[in-house]
Amino acid sequence: MTNRIYVSNATNQLKKVIVCSPKYYKFNGINEITKSWMEKGETEQNDLMVQEWETLINAYKANGVEVIEMEPQSELEVQTFARDFGAMIKEGAIIGKFRHPARQNETQVYEQKLKELGIPIVARCNAGCFEGGDFWMIDEHTIALGLVDRTDQAGVDNLREQLQKFGYTVVGVPVAPEHLHLDMCFNIVAPNICLAAKSVLPFWFIKMLERRHFTIIDVPEELIEKHGCNVQALGNNTVLGIANNVTVNEALENAGVTVIKLPLQQILKAGGGPHCMTYPVERSY
């Protein structure tokens, strides 16, 4: 067993990520955001999506993050949302279980990449469902798993059992299914600072954050689908955010968080932002 520490919290300096180009992304009505764009007659516009995605990659490189790019595969239509196949903890990788058949074949190629990188797999969801967009380390010992649309109670129970031996407490956080993943309505951006759509999150969860002395920046419900919470913490009180989310960016800056504003628009129609497109492999410890 290696003593290497991979990810011990959500906000230490980000060192290494896995990402995948949206070159072959296809609109798929498996989330409410994309469904509504499809109803308006929108199409993918992959060239534009790739251009926007490259601004994310360049921002990582400019901030000293090692970027590992997957080889996009045309048959994996939603592969660009690298976050969702699993999660990382101190000890290594957790492999999730996709709810939708459109995504299930992604697991194999991402798991192969972890093996190439020599990253140990320390837990695997083998009952129910679990996707990485529902995963948050609230602190070094507490993991919150969203019970939204893609992770279910059987998945939470299954992972709780496997993660107990590492000393983690796992809590399930129920949110209405139209919000897709927990990272759409909650995000830890810097030590003890979080974005939270308080109106859709359970009261006890907000209280739990307050007890841990989080400063909670409340995001209105109407900004959830505009990816108001979907930023990626780089460490050093800095996040990758979205240029159009003006009020959220101002609130973050007022709380002392630097926001690198990415020009993402087309890619957001696919139903995910910077957080969804990023699988964090390693943070400093």
Pick the closest to residue 80 from 279, 267, 277 (CA basis). 277
| Sequence spans of domains, the chain | 14-283
The answer to whether 242 touches 221, Cβ cutoff 8 Å, is no
Other C-beta atoms within 10 Å of 272: how many?
Answer: 29
Beta bridge partners of 238: 235, 258
How does residue 35 score in pLDDT terms, banded at 50, 70 and 90? low
Average pLDDT, the chain: 94
pLDDT tens profile 80-103: 999 999 999 999 999 999 999 989
Q: How far is CA 43 from CA 137, 155, 268, 274, in A?
A: 35, 33, 12, 20
Q: Tell me which H or E stretch contains 209.
A: helix 203-211
Which whole number is the average pLDDT over 267-276?
A: 84
pTM (global) more than 0.85: yes
- Least trusted range by pLDDT, from 87-91, 189-193, 247-251, 271-275: 271-275
Distances in Å between the Cα of 161 and the Cα atoms of 47, 165, 168, 169, 208 are 43, 8, 10, 10, 22
What pLDDT is attached to residue 254?
Answer: 98
CATH top class, domain 14-283: alpha beta
What was the pLDDT predicted at 271?
73
